[in-house]
Amino acid sequence: MGKPKALVTRPLFPAARAILDECFDAEYWTSAERIPRAELLRRVADKEALVCLLTEKVDEELLAAAPKLRIVATMSVGYDNIDVPACTRRKIVATHTPGVLDETTADFAWTLLMAIARRLVEGDAWVRAGTWPGWDLDQLLGGDVWGKTLGIIGFGRIGRGVARRAQGFRMRVLYHDAVRAPRDVESEFHAEFAERDRLLAESDFVSLHVPLLPETRHLIGKEALEKMKRTAYLINTSRGPVVDEAALARALEEKKIAGAALDVYEREPEVHPALLARKDVILAPHIASATVETRTNMAVMAARNAAALFQGRRPPNALNADALGL
């Protein structure tokens, strides 16, 4: 009997390809540009496994086009690109990559936090432009980081990684989450639970780490931004639609907050035009998990998830294992 067929929407890394090639007759999308939707639907039609990225939407239309599909393995921890209930209805396993990118993503939230507070990107542009006249007393004055209050919304794997790093900066840490953490976790991370509005009102930095869900879409909109301090900064490394970009642009224009540093956008790769021209915003191209080590680990994890099912094992990171009785 031949190997099961898999579609892999990027060439991935050699370590992940080795796992996939051993288990599957794998077809890789190798063009530099992202796989076009029509091509994805056409190529997945005869496949039993799909290893995809967060940019591929796995919805009813795709599942209907892939009658043999048994597993969808996304190379991301966020799985808002996958209609998991639709997968479950069709007895298709959906998997993601939790845990391997926590520290790397937390590092990057801090990269953005430090860079926006200390105006690093503005400074870099000034020096490169050749117009910087040399040191002076009041150039590019930013906000202090050390000793300030950090508000973390979404106190899961990544949110806790961000909290841990705050200790070195002697910060006070507030967190808000749909589920309050156990007391021992709160004391381990020196983090205090706060209702969302108190967190917004008291924090000097608000960092977002919730998944994209119907309840978290536009979690930060006009009303939330108005509750923040005028001197506060917003950092978003979660998902773009968690922030209402138009409301953010207005809040910055009206000086309701001091600045924002974003890694993710509502309609990637588009960015709200009003944000593009602003100096009080840092715009990163969705790279919070983008290190050689972490992206390799994510690809290997996705490959192992896909392979496990066909090797008779429960995929380690299945989102619907219980619903499917695995």
Ligand X SMILES: NC(=O)c1ccc[n+]([C@@H]2O[C@H](COP(=O)([O-])OP(=O)(O)OC[C@H]3O[C@@H](n4cnc5c(N)ncnc54)[C@H](O)[C@@H]3O)[C@@H](O)[C@H]2O)c1
Our CB check for ligand X shows the closer of 123 and 211 to be 211
Q: Total number of residues binding ligand X (CB under 6 A)?
A: 31
- Catalytic, 22? Answer no
Query: Amino acid identity of 27?
Result: E
Tokens (6 digits) for 59: 């919805």
- Catalytic, 239? Answer yes
152 binds ligand X (CB under 6 A): no
- Catalytic, 268? Answer yes
101 binds ligand X (CB under 6 A): yes
Residues 180-239 that bind ligand X (CB under 6 A): 209-213, 215-216, 237-239
Give start and end residues of each alpha helix (H) in 151-291.
Answer: 157-166, 183-188, 196-202, 222-227, 245-253, 273-276
- Kindly state the smallest distance separating residue 98's Cβ from ligand X, in Å: 5
317 binds ligand X (CB under 6 A): no
- Kindly state the smallest distance separating residue 280's Cβ from ligand X, in Å: 21
Burial of 287 (0-12, 13-18, 19+ CB in 10 A): middle
Burial of 219 (0-12, 13-18, 19+ CB in 10 A): buried
CB proximity list for 5: less than 8 A, separation 6 or greater: 24, 25, 26, 27, 46, 47, 48, 49, 68
Binding to ligand X by CB under 6 A, coded x per residue (else -) over 159-178, reads x----------------xxx
Our CB check for ligand X shows the closer of 27 and 268 to be 268
What is the DSSP secondary-structure string of 259-295?
A: EEEES--TBTTB--HHHHT-TTEEE--S-TT-SHHHH
- Kindly state the smallest distance separating residue 270's Cβ from ligand X, in Å: 16
> What does the alpha-carbon distance between residue 124 and residue 94 come to, in Å, rounded to a whole number?
43
DSSP helix, strand, coil percent of the chain (3-state; round to 5) = 40, 15, 45
294 binds ligand X (CB under 6 A): no
Indicate which single residue of 32, 129, 179, 277 sits in contact with ligand X (rule: CB under 6 A). Answer: 179
Binding to ligand X by CB under 6 A, coded x per residue (else -) over 257-286, reads ------xx---------------------x
Q: Which residues bind ligand X (CB under 6 A)?
A: 77-78, 98, 101, 105, 153-159, 176-179, 209-213, 215-216, 237-239, 263-264, 286, 288-289
Catalytic residue ranges: 239, 268, 286
